[in-house]
C-alpha cells in the first residue's frame, strides 16, 4: 500500500494547480511512481484533425475563435464569474453549431470527429504506468460543463449533477463522476476523477484513482462510510447472525476475516465497527492490502 509523505502530496498539488492554469489542453494524467504528470496539447494541435471540417463554415470558425478567447481569459483570471459565464456560453454555442451542421448539412462530411473533440474538450484520461487500467479526469476550474453548474449566486457544494459524465478523447464509453481532490483553495481548483461506466473495466479503473488520491490527499475516500455500512448490514451482520444460529458453540466465540486487496482499509475498518456496534459478533481483523 502506498503511503505518500506530506511533502510529496504538497508537491503534486502545486504541480497540478500550476498546470491547471496553463493555456494548453490536458489529454492525459500519468501516475509515475510518486509523481503526477499532466500531458497537454496546444490549442491548434487539439483542433487540427478537424481543421478542414471547421473551415468550411464561417460560423463554426467564429465560434471556435471566440471560445479560445474566453478559454484563455478563464485561465488568466480563474475566479472571475464574468469570464466563466462567457466561457460556458461560448462553449455551448460551439456545441450547438456543430450539432446543427450535423443535422442539417449531411453533405459536409462526417460530423463525428468534430463532435467528439467538442464533447471531450477539457476531459482527459488518468493512467498508472505499467497498468492497463484507465480512469477519467477533469479540472474543476476549467471544464465548461462543471463551471456552468457553479454560476449560481450561491452555488451549493459540488455534486455529480455539475458534471455527471466525461468522455475523454478516443474513448467509446463514458466515465462517471466519483469524487474531487482539492488542489488549491486560492484558485478553487480540484482534480475531478471518474471511474469507468463499463462494468468490465470499472473495478480496474479505481486503481489509478486510488493511487492519484493518495498522492494528493491524506483524507479517506468519502464514499467509504456508506459502502461500509451497506457491507455490514447486507453481508456481515446477516452472516454472523446465521452462523450463530447454526452453531451455538460460536455464540461466545470469534470469526477471523482476511481481506485481500483492502487498499487503505477504510471500508472494512468502518464495516467492522458497524458489526461490533450491533453486538452480534466479535471480529478479529486481518488485512492483506495491495
- Between 101 and 255, the more confident residue is 101
Model confidence at 18: pLDDT above 70: yes
In a domain, 267, yes or no: yes
In a domain, 63, yes or no: yes
Cell numbers 502506498: residue: 2
137, 194 contact by CB (below 8 A): yes
- Full DSSP string of 236-280: IHHHHHHHHHH-GGGTT-EEEEEEET-TT-HHHHHHHHHHHHHTS
Q: Which ranges constitute the DSSP H helices of the chain?
A: 6-19, 43-47, 51-55, 58-76, 81-104, 112-120, 144-148, 199-216, 224-231, 237-246, 266-278
Whole-prediction pTM: 0.79
**Does one domain contain both 247 and 116?**
no
Query: Across residues 75-101, what is the average pLDDT?
Result: 95
Among candidate residues 216, 247, 271, the one where a domain is terminated:
216
Among candidate residues 186, 216, 246, the one where a domain is terminated:
216
How far apart CA 143 and CA 23 sit, in angstroms, is 13
**Does one domain contain both 212 and 244?**
no
In a domain, 67, yes or no: yes
Give the pLDDT score at 255. 61
242, 280 contact by CB (below 8 A): no
**Does one domain contain both 170 and 258?**
no
pLDDT tens by residue, 119-177: 999 999 999 988 888 999 999 999 999 999 888 777 666 666 789 999 999 999 999 99
Spatial CA neighbour of 142 closest among 184, 173, 179: 184
**Does one domain contain both 212 and 235?**
no
Among candidate residues 165, 189, 216, the one where a domain is terminated:
216
**Does one domain contain both 165 and 234?**
no
**Does one domain contain both 35 and 93?**
yes
In a domain, 1, yes or no: no
In a domain, 163, yes or no: yes
| Percent with pLDDT over 90 in the chain | 56
In a domain, 102, yes or no: yes
Domain count, the chain: 2
**Does one domain contain both 155 and 74?**
yes
Cell numbers 452555488: residue: 155
**Does one domain contain both 197 and 233?**
no
Structural domain range at position 282: 224-288
**Does one domain contain both 143 and 232?**
no
Give the pLDDT score at 129. 86
Give the pLDDT score at 3. 67
Compute φ and ψ for 182, nearest 5 degrees.
-65, 135
**Does one domain contain both 203 and 252?**
no
In a domain, 73, yes or no: yes
Model confidence at 202: pLDDT above 80: yes
Amino acid at each position: 500500500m502506498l503511503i505518500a509523505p506530506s511533502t510529496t502530496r504538497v508537491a503534486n498539488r502545486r504541480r497540478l494547480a500550476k498546470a491547471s492554469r496553463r493555456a494548453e489542453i490536458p489529454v492525459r494524467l500519468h501516475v509515475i511512481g510518486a509523481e503526477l504528470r499532466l500531458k497537454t496539447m496546444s490549442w491548434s494541435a487539439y483542433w487540427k484533425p478537424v481543421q478542414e471540417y471547421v473551415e468550411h463554415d464561417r460560423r463554426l470558425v467564429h465560434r471556435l475563435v471566440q471560445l479560445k478567447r474566453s478559454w484563455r481569459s478563464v485561465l488568466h483570471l480563474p475566479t472571475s464569474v464574468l469570464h466563466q459565464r462567457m466561457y460556458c456560453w461560448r462553449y455551448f454555442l460551439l456545441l450547438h453549431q456543430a450539432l446543427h451542421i450535423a443535422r442539417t448539412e449531411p453533405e459536409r462530411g462526417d460530423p463525428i470527429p468534430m463532435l467528439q473533440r467538442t464533447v471531450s474538450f477539457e476531459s482527459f484520461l488518468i493512467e498508472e504506468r505499467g497498468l492497463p487500467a484507465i480512469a477519467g479526469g477533469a479540472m474543476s476550474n476549467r471544464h465548461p460543463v462543471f463551471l456552468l453548474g457553479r454560476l449560481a449566486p450561491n452555488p451549493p457544494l459540488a455534486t455529480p449533477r455539475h458534471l455527471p459524465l466525461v468522455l475523454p478523447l478516443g474513448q467509446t464509453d463514458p466515465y462517471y463522476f466519483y469524487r474531487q481532490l482539492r488542489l488549491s483553495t486560492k484558485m478553487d481548483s480540484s482534480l475531478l476523477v471518474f471511474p469507468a461506466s463499463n462494468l468490465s473495466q470499472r473495478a480496474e479503473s479505481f486503481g489509478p484513482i486510488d493511487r492519484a488520491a493518495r498522492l494528493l490527499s491524506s483524507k479517506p475516500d468519502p464514499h467509504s462510510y456508506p459502502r461500509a455500512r451497506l457491507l455490514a448490514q447486507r453481508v456481515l451482520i446477516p452472516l454472523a447472525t446465521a452462523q450463530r444460529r447454526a452453531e451455538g458453540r460460536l455464540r461466545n466465540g470469534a470469526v477471523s476475516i482476511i481481506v485481500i486487496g483492502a487498499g487503505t482499509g477504510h471500508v472494512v475498518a468502518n464495516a467492522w465497527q458497524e458489526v461490533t456496534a450491533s453486538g452480534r459478533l466479535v471480529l478479529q481483523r486481518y488485512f492483506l492490502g495491495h
